[in-house]
A = this chain, B = another copy of it.
Amino acid sequence: MSKNPEPLRLDALQAACASCNLRELCLPMGLAPEAVERLDDLIGLRRRVRQGELLFDAGAPFEALFAIRSGFFKTTIGTEDGREQVTGFQMSGDLLGLDGIGPGRHDVRAVALEDSSVCVMPFASLERLAVDLPDLQRSLHRFMSREIVRDHGTILMLGTLRADQRLAAFLVGLLQRLSRRGYSSQALVLRMTRDEIGSYLGLKIETVSRMLGRLQDEAVIAVHQREVSVLQPERLRRLAEGAD
């Protein structure tokens, strides 16, 4: 079933960015309408990725960047000896594949955590187009740079925070990004398992579970399976900032 070729879909040929409500969050951010139109031409197709399927694997040749239209992904990095870690979670408007530009191969593996759809932007064309459109160039730079900044945040988290603080930082970060997309900033549904959260935070699943339990005991959050709601936003934020 998972090997079935995706049947051609009507929307695969629709105009993209110009009518996309993620315009102001995604790569075309701040571009002039004509520029957006040319970017549209470049986006040959959309691709659907079902929950659990790979968008791309680590080591695969890098050919395109992917902009998430809808859905949710995780990226993981692995080593020969079997160590594996989640490096991030991506949602609508985020770009996937930036790490492949340098080496020409993907550095991470991208897996859909729910049924998703992405815009495929062949990188060679994108680079060519960017020569004509300095704004596009700048936007691309901004996205790469933002990825670096985000990674620095992750490094700081892993290097300096305790387990409960990491969890708080994780929740605060997710909520922030969700609220920018119009969702509540008080409640969310986790798209990933405890195990994946743990991998991202450098913790074991048992610790994740215990810390969620503790935060709940202290009435900072309420947890029901994958639904989390924040009861004391201020306290959660302070925890995430490293306050004792």
Contacts and interface: CB of A to CB of B under 8 A. Distances in A.
A79 interface: yes
A85 B149 contact: no
Interface string A53-97: 000000000000000000000000101110101010000000000
Interface stretch (A5-13, A151-159, A205-213): A151-159
A83 B244 CA distance: 12
Interface string A91-116: 00000001111110001100000000
Contact of A160 (B83, B149, B155): B83
A147 B147 CA distance: 10
Given A145-B98, A146-B102, A202 B160 contact: yes
A2 B119 CA distance: 52
Contact of A151 (B148, B202, B243): B148
Contacts of A149: 99, 102-103, 107
A51 interface: no
B142 A202 contact: no
Given A144-B148, A145-B103, A202 B159 contact: yes
Interface stretch (A129-137, A174-182, A185-193, A222-230): A129-137
A214 interface: no
A138 interface: yes
Interface residues of A, number: 47
Nearest to A97: B145
A137 B148 contact: no
A143 interface: yes
A162 to B, nearest CB: 12
A150 B192 CA distance: 25
Contact of A158 (B100, B131, B158, B242): B158
21 contacts: A77-B155, A79-B156, A79-B241, A81-B243, A83-B160, A87-B152, A87-B155, A99-B145, A100-B145, A101-B144, A102-B142, A102-B145, A103-B145, A103-B149, A107-B152, A127-B141, A128-B134, A131-B134, A144-B148, A155-B155, A159-B200
Given A101-B142, A101-B145, 9 more contacts: A83-B156, A87-B155, A99-B145, A102-B146, A102-B148, A103-B145, A144-B148, A155-B155, A158-B202
